[in-house]
Amino acid sequence: PTFYPEKYTRKEREKIAKYSRGNNITILLHAPEETSIFSFLDDVRKNSIKILKKVIDFGYDIGAKVITFHLGLGIPISSKGKMIYINKLYPNQFVSNLEDSLSELLNYANGKIILSLENVGNFGEPETKDVIKKFLDDNQLYLTWDLGHNNLKYKPHQKQDEFFMEYLHKIRCCHLHDNHGDRDEHLPIGEGEIDFNYYLPILVNLDAYLIFEVRPKELALNCLKNLNI
């Protein structure tokens, strides 16, 4: 909540932009994770778009380069003794909601800042991928490749190397952290099972920002040391 856009006045935004320019600091933003741009509840979807537009304006005002954002989390319901996500029951409405929201957001961000979609939540579903590819191919949308999420072994997070290898030219951010595959631990590199020696030669050739997504921030130094860059 420290960095929510509504907490910063116009004067404070100008001060941040001036400082980053004067000190050659690159600013990257991560949008709030509470949003859902495919929600079946129209008020939630529209207000999610409203929130993300505020982040876009904030990013533009402070001179940020990229905003990483999530699609949202699917809502599971019980059906015939099993849990199934609502987007699987109503795929056409899911696709329509997602297309409308992405189109509106990307048009709003055009000329202001890059929007970069992270592989989390419903990202890995086939119907989602079809929509994402459409916007990637239209050169509007970019990608944030989270290697920690890429290593998770439960649906819909299974390895997505093939997809990202196809769109290496669209990757603008990479989130680097480690885990053991069963949960999103955000461990420092070297404390989980991910083979970063495999990915590093790929990453260094990307036109992308590499981000150690670990907390507290002091652990980022451990990541740098363990990567031996």
Q: What is the pLDDT of residue 62?
A: 99
SS3 content of the chain, % helix, strand, coil (to 5): 45, 15, 40
Q: What is the pLDDT of residue 158?
A: 61
Q: What is the pLDDT of residue 229?
A: 64
Q: What is the pLDDT of residue 153?
A: 85
Which stretch of DSSP H or E encloses residue 211? strand 209-212
Per the CB < 8 A criterion, the answer to whether 174 and 204 are in contact is no
Show the DSSP H helices in 24-125 as ranges. Answer: 42-62, 86-89, 91-109
Q: What is the pLDDT of residue 125?
A: 87
Alpha-carbon torsion (61, 8, 57, 3), positive or negative: positive
**Residue 54 CB burial class (10 angstroms; 0-12, 13-18, ≥19):** middle
30 backbone dihedrals φ, ψ, rounded to 5°: -120, 120
Amino acid present at 201: P
Residue with the two structure tokens 């461990």: 187
CATH code, 5-227: 3.20.20.150
| Biggest alpha carbon–alpha carbon distance for the chain | 61
Q: What is the pLDDT of residue 155?
A: 65
Intervals of the chain under pLDDT 50: none
Instruction: Count CB atoms within 10 A of the CB of residue 114.
Output: 17
Show the DSSP H helices in 63-186 as ranges. Answer: 86-89, 91-109, 126-137, 147-150, 161-166
